[in-house]
Structure 1
């Protein structure tokens, strides 16, 4: 699957083969340990997209995608915890703000790790989290339904929506504090290991200097919807990992070869689309390709279950773990339009 030659790709491969893959089934049952996060930091992978002047690698997008595929294919839970970090880094690098000078370097070097608490903004016009201006800063009220990496992240990128439909992005400490309460870790069918909680915000106060961006909900959607319509590199990473299992069985070699060829074709098409400028009217085309990638992910993980036979029902089975991770990726970052497209595709056969 390797298509780029870059030191970070080599480091990701070494991390995957030496640590993540051998421990993936244990992590799936017990949770992502802090030592895994430290290993990702030491490999420099938290700075893959960060500017060089702030200590990052500023690597090409192909490198970022490939390292994501490698990590997700080895241990999707670890990938999911660390992938949250890259969006806050990109936002800080893109928009000038006082908080950039405070946080971008420690985030780029891996001294700190960030999580995200803004997917709920996609629920607009429903507003799960409100941002209310007050003297010297902002007050946040509501409930963040999903926050991943609790207890592993240092800071979080939090967003709320104002009464005038403005989205306010701020950084806050990712810890229990007055007016911020985390739920117990969620028990999920897949990726329970990623330490996902919900956050209750009862008037959490954040100073003005913690604001990284203010934008209208309409402008946010114009940027976010095309981006969310792209196929995730993790889909290709998990699918290829499943096909590796299939190929290890005599009766599965031809199945793995056929599915891998189709997967690689969709991968090339998905990344070519993602590299194009993203006008809003491109969303249907991207979602169609994303749905094809989902179809192949489902076929690959199903083939791994079939090839594994009864052993696949054991909770320690790699095939079962990959199948559950594939199920998770079907809804990760899902928008209403993506749901409609995917369901329509399933209905039409």
Structure 2
């Protein structure tokens, strides 16, 4: 990482230690987007999704997820949108919004995870001057904090289009109450129903295809593991804290063992993520590494629950929150391949 990346990462760690983690259980129970956390990160220049290389982004995500999964999941939508708009061929869109986005003054969410589903849920019909959107985007995270959303939709020819739409409720854009989630409930994730919503050509972000989405999912098999590494790191930190209060050597031993395995898993995943994806065995190895990262995170969180004893059943205890967040990250950006690989590893199938 560069010197500037190290400086920003140190500031992120300070915010996580002083603000995010101490308030994580309160935020988790609040049911509301943690605007104060978003503001603190933005003030430190950490709402800029165009900043930093892969090493910085992985370390940043791991820090956030070790501290407060809710904050991570809200801001990661925005960081991804910054990258989408920064990379768009639509220069006027960049000029209109990107500066305020990277400053944390204009949050943009996403609504395109449904594009991985076999049946189209949101369709875009070309009309003079733009497109008409009809259908449902089932997951739009952080709605009350959003200024806009980038929706992904199917075009009549089966290709994908990504369009920027202001986050304003109307007869054409209706959102549900926050979805009743057992994890990340405070992200205020909603379902958006679009009925003849017109999006002008000026708000086009990019075009894509099912094949390009599938290729991106494959290429990123080992690049989306940092959230689970964060849960693992947070659970290890909690085990070490418990070891100072309980007279059980096994707690420190467990923390050491998990720390060693985390180092190995992290190195394996990131080596594969940065490696030659055309190699014959790469896909199989990457799937195995992804499943390992998922299993490790769940196992570390479960270890924390066991070590915390009955206290872990309290909503005031971080052990139960991390267990739920590990469940969430198990499903995060899941494809059919990842599902099968994870189930096979967890069931100890040959």
TM-score, structure 2 normalization = 0.92
CA drift at 1:101: 2.0
| Structure 2 residue matching 1:84: 3-state secondary structure | helix
Q: Output the aligned Cα RMSD.
A: 1.9
CA drift at 1:277: 5.2
Distance 1:163 1:136 in 2: 17
Partner of 1:199: 192
CA drift at 1:228: 4.8
Map 1:126-165 onto structure 2 (within 5 A).
126-165=119-158
Pair 1:214-2:217 in alignment? no
**Deviates most, 244-253 or 296-305:** 244-253
Partner of 1:63: 56
Distance 2:94 2:319 in 1: 42
CA contact (8 A) 1:229 1:283 kept: no
Which stretches in structure 2 are left out of the alignment for 5+ residues? none
Partner of 2:317: 317
Pair 1:45-2:39 in alignment? no
TM-score, structure 1 normalization = 0.92
Distance 2:311 2:158 in 1: 52
**Deviates most, 288-297 or 274-283:** 274-283
CA contact (8 A) 1:8 1:67 kept: no
**Among 116, 119, 123, which residue is 2:110 paired with?**
116
Map 1:243-322 onto structure 2 (within 5 A).
243-250=236-243, 251=248, 252-276=251-275, 278-279=277-278, 282-322=282-322
CA contact (8 A) 2:225 2:293 kept: no
Distance 2:188 2:80 in 1: 19
Distance 2:218 2:266 in 1: 20
Partner of 1:92: 85
Distance 1:102 1:185 in 2: 29
| Structure 1 residue matching 2:138: 3-state secondary structure | strand
Distance 1:143 1:336 in 2: 22
**Deviates most, 109-118 or 306-315:** 109-118
CA drift at 1:279: 4.8
Partner of 1:185: 178
Distance 2:132 2:323 in 1: 41
CA contact (8 A) 1:149 1:195 kept: yes
Taking a change above 3 Å as real, the CA distance of residues 280 and 108 of structure 1, as seen in their structure-2 partners, is: farther
CA drift at 1:229: 5.3
CA contact (8 A) 1:46 1:110 kept: yes
| Structure 1 residue matching 2:145: 3-state secondary structure | coil
CA drift at 1:116: 0.8
Which stretches in structure 1 are left out of the alignment for 5+ residues? 51-57
Distance 1:165 1:40 in 2: 39
- Size of the alignment, in residue pairs? 338
